[in-house]
Amino acid sequence: MFTSSSQHHVTLICGPTDMRKAIDGLCNIVAYDLEKEPCSEQVVSSASRH
């Protein structure tokens, strides 16, 4: 859910992302690969192969 803020930070993950990793695996990608805080107010978008 978005707040009424006029500015959002969006991070796009390029390349295929294995969606079978569930929320914990995807949070690890954000935390360790992107070096971002998974629980922050930023938006992270990824895509699967299919």
Considering its fold, how many domains does the chain have in total? Answer: 1
pLDDT, residue 25, reads: 86
- Rounded-to-integer distance, Cα 16 and Cα 13, Å: 8
Burial class (CB in 10 A: 0-12, 13-18, 19+), 17: middle
Residue 17 lies in a domain: yes
Residue 2 lies in a domain: no
pLDDT, residue 2, reads: 55
Residue 18 lies in a domain: yes
Residue 1 lies in a domain: no
Residue 3 lies in a domain: no
pLDDT, tens digit, 9 for 90 and up, residues 1-50? 556 666 778 888 887 888 888 888 888 888 998 888 888 888 888 876 66
Domain containing 18 equals 10-47
pLDDT, residue 1, reads: 55
Residue 22 lies in a domain: yes
pTM of the full structure: 0.62
pLDDT, residue 5, reads: 63
